[in-house]
Amino acid sequence: MKYFKMNNFITGFSKLSKEEKINWIAKEYFSNPKEALSLLKNYWNTDEKIQNLHDEFIENTITNFYLPLGVAPNFLINGKHYTIPMVIEESSVVAAAAKAAKFWSTRGGFKTTVLNTEKIGQVHFMFTGDALKLEKFFLEIKAKCIAATESITKNMQKRGGGILEIELRNKTHLIENYYQLHATFDTKDSMGANFINSCLEQFAKTLKEEVHSFESFSEEEKNIEVVMSILSNYVPNCIVRAEVSCPLEELIEKHINDPKDFAEKFVRAVQIAEIEPFRAVTHNKGIMNGIDAIVIATGNDFRAVEAGVHAYASRNGQYSSLSHAKIENGIFSFWLEVPLALGTVGGLTSLHPLVKFSLEMLENPTAKELMQIVAVAGLAQNFAALRSLTTTGIQEGHMKMHLNNILNQLEATDEERLLIRKHFEKNVVTHSSVVDYIQKLRRII
């Protein structure tokens, strides 16, 4: 295969074979091309079928990028036990989830409710003319818009889902001549992105076609310009609630000597995240540690979830906490409401072997059940973070978990690891304290 090259600029790259691609990259960018090639190949799967599968997920795959898949057991959700799969690189997250799960498993567990499951998509278009005529036109073609999607919606309807409603929205107060077809959908167990986008593109087509036979439109009015048709990742009507609660005295534990003091400080920490955006972002980031990890493990689109969740956190005009807490009549309650558009069928769910594994470990949940499990992972993570922050401080646990990474960086031997772990059971872990200690050991051993 030939390619044309000019100072690292290349045309026809995607048409090269994988071998040609990695050879070009190794030669162009690496002082030691042989080493670069061998690193890439080390991460290829020896099972050709699995490797081919990964090669085809995206364009220009040159190797695989591993992230750990960990599990957090002992989650009691609505009376049922789960072991939750988590894909994440941050060392303390799985341990924190497991700790929070265990804590709440003896205090009634997590309770969840799916409040609604509506997805949204929009056709954005420009219309120059009489808005009242456009409304009349829309009412006339609405049924046609729906009928024209029949081949797309047939299967979804069999599963009980489909198009819920289409509205014409006048946005000309924001942009001159700008209107939308704002549509809502029920996509059942699929996330629904392809389904929604296909329906929207068909709505746009019907809109463009039908405009010509609407007699009261002038020639200018017939000239509708469809700007784009796309689903929205903002799903404020696809909300799940997760909560925990227990009598104050049941909060007692290793780092919680005075449960009332603990609960009050915890509630204050949540209040701070409710009113202070700088804190809210970090607070919600902790929630997303739990949410993203399971969203990725179950083959869902974490960028869509992130974008939607943060938009929801700003819905009242200021970025705020997704979780809330209170003490009422001696009962501590902590809860979270998040928008989660998830799927358990379609997309990667039946393609990626580890996604299939994760879903089976969760007993093949429906999308609604998955929403509940994911929200719980977020709440558990938030509980673990706030418990540490308001008691021991976050660094103790973080650095204990991070110790492994430091030991790997320093290429510590098994013997050194044993001695260092023992030493740091009672001493504060920092990068420099570990370096100092290993240097001391290396002088002695």
Could you list the residues that contact ligand MEV (CB under 6 A)? 90, 282-283, 285-286, 289, 385, 389, 394
Catalytically annotated residue among 144, 398, 400, 431: 398
| Residue 56: CB minimum distance to ligand MEV, A | 33
| Residue 384: CB minimum distance to ligand MEV, A | 8
By C-alpha distance, which of 298, 78, 55, 310 is closest to 191? 298
Sign for the CA dihedral angle at 284, 333, 72, 255 comes to positive
C-alpha 278/C-alpha 261 separation (Å) is 25
Catalytically annotated residue among 19, 35, 48, 90: 90
Please say which residue, 92 or 122, places its beta carbon nearer to ligand MEV.
92
Which residues touch 121 (CB under 8 Å, ≥6 apart)?
Answer: 183, 185, 196, 197, 199, 200, 229, 230, 231, 232
Catalytically annotated residue among 186, 243, 292, 301: 301
Distance of alpha carbon 26 from its chain centroid, rounded? 33
**Degrees to nearest 5, angle at CA 144 with 142 and 145:** 65
**Residue 398 bears catalytic tag:** yes
Phi, psi of 278 (to 5 degrees): -60, -40
Q: Which residues of 316-343 are buried (b: 16+ CB within 10 A; e: fewer)?
A: eeebbbbbbbeeeeeebebbbbbbbbbb
| Residue 394: CB minimum distance to ligand MEV, A | 5
Please say which residue, 201 or 292, places its beta carbon nearer to ligand MEV.
292
Please say which residue, 190 or 388, places its beta carbon nearer to ligand MEV.
388
By C-alpha distance, which of 187, 222, 421 is closest to 304? 187
Half-sphere exposure of residue 205: CA atoms within 13 angstroms, side-chain side: 10
**Residue 301 bears catalytic tag:** yes
C-alpha 395/C-alpha 388 separation (Å) is 9
Please say which residue, 200 or 269, places its beta carbon nearer to ligand MEV.
269
User: What Rg do the C-alpha atoms of the chain give, in angstroms?
Assistant: 27
Structure tokens at 134: 């456009």
Catalytically annotated residue among 142, 285, 326, 423: 285
C-alpha 24/C-alpha 2 separation (Å) is 12
**Residue 49 bears catalytic tag:** no
User: What is the pairing mode between strands 162-170 and 225-232?
Assistant: unpaired
Please say which residue, 25 or 96, places its beta carbon nearer to ligand MEV.
96
Please say which residue, 121 or 290, places its beta carbon nearer to ligand MEV.
290
C-alpha 269/C-alpha 207 separation (Å) is 51
Please say which residue, 188 or 402, places its beta carbon nearer to ligand MEV.
402
Closest CB to ligand MEV: residue number: 286
Phi, psi of 154 (to 5 degrees): -50, -55
Please say which residue, 70 or 129, places its beta carbon nearer to ligand MEV.
70
> Can you give the length of the chain in residues?
445
C-alpha 283/C-alpha 270 separation (Å) is 8
User: What is the pairing mode between strands 323-328 and 331-339?
Assistant: antiparallel
| Residue 77: CB minimum distance to ligand MEV, A | 22
| Residue 236: CB minimum distance to ligand MEV, A | 23
Structure tokens at 316: 């009242």
Indicate which residues carry an active-site annotation: 90, 285, 301, 398
